[in-house]
Amino acid sequence: MSTTDKKFPRTEADSGSSWDAIGNADYDDSHYDKATDLKDETSSFLILTNFGFTTSDVPVGSTITGIEVEIMRYVYRLSGLATVITDNTVQLINGAGTPVGDNKASGLSWPLDFASEALASYGDPSDNWSASLTASDIIDSDFGFRLAVTESGSKCGTPSIEYVKIRITYTVAGGGSIKKLSGVAWASVKKVLKVAEASLKKVAGVVAN
């Protein structure tokens, strides 16, 4: 099993008009993607793609076993407003640009205020999100994920995303089979050696007599 580095998106888009600041989730630098003053509504999709994976990261023919997404985020609000922002949709996008697999949205509220900014993680090295992704999907510039959020506290809140990273875990094509073959081959070698040892002992006995 192999794992890539965590990579940032290079392309960002808004499916509608909620995200009035985009293009900032590409680095850990205190610049934010924002959907200003959501209130009792669900945002449009923030679409993050082009994570820059290449065949050096994920060789062609590899099996994708896990996808991990990390989002560093908080909610900006006017002092004391009891806004409630939660994920609405956290879903992968395949190499054809189509949303696929599980919606990993969490029901937990996003942390309020900059001081509480925190990392949210989705998926793990053995979770493929039921997305049936291939290595070709991962290296495609359209691969990525989409995010929408919901405000349900009847108070204005501004979801703010500092950065997003994706990491892929995969097995190289044929890797598993080679290991099995090696085991079988090693057992055969041991068998041959045992037979040879027995034959040598026999020969040695004959010569001694």
Partner 1 sequence: MKFTLKTLFSKFVSTIISENACQGGAIDWCKKTDREGLTFGEAIEMYLADDEAKSGWAVWNLIKFDSDFNGDVKKGFIKKIKDPMTALQLFRRLKHLTEEEDNILKNKFEGKLPRAEKELKDGVIRREKEKKNVNY
Binding mask 99-128 for partner 1 (x = CB under 8 A): ---xxxxxxx-------------x------
Using the rule CB under 8 A, is 65 a contact of partner 1? no
Using the rule CB under 8 A, is 43 a contact of partner 1? no
Q: Which stretch binds partner 1 (CB under 8 A): 1-9, 14-22, 152-160, 181-189?
A: 152-160
Q: Which stretch binds partner 1 (CB under 8 A): 2-10, 34-42, 56-64, 66-74?
A: 34-42
Between 9 and 123, name the residue whose CB sits nearer to partner 1.
123
User: Could you tell me how many residues of this chain bind partner 1 (CB under 8 A)?
Assistant: 21
| Residue whose tokens read 């990273």 | 165
Using the rule CB under 8 A, is 14 a contact of partner 1? no
Using the rule CB under 8 A, is 36 a contact of partner 1? no
Whole-angstrom Cα distance, residue 110 to residue 169? Answer: 27
Determine contact, residues 143/53, Cβ cutoff 8 Å.
Answer: yes
Using the rule CB under 8 A, is 44 a contact of partner 1? no
Determine contact, residues 117/55, Cβ cutoff 8 Å.
Answer: no
Determine contact, residues 83/76, Cβ cutoff 8 Å.
Answer: no
Between 95 and 153, name the residue whose CB sits nearer to partner 1.
153
Determine contact, residues 47/77, Cβ cutoff 8 Å.
Answer: no
| Residue whose tokens read 């590409």 | 26
Whole-angstrom Cα distance, residue 25 to residue 12? Answer: 8
| Residue whose tokens read 């291939």 | 134
Determine contact, residues 166/51, Cβ cutoff 8 Å.
Answer: yes
Query: Cβ of 207: how many Cβ atoms within 10 Å?
Result: 7
CB of 36 to partner 1, least distance (A): 16
Binding mask 132-151 for partner 1 (x = CB under 8 A): ------------------x-
Give me the residues that bind partner 1 (CB under 8 A), please.
39-42, 84, 86-89, 102-108, 122, 150, 152-154
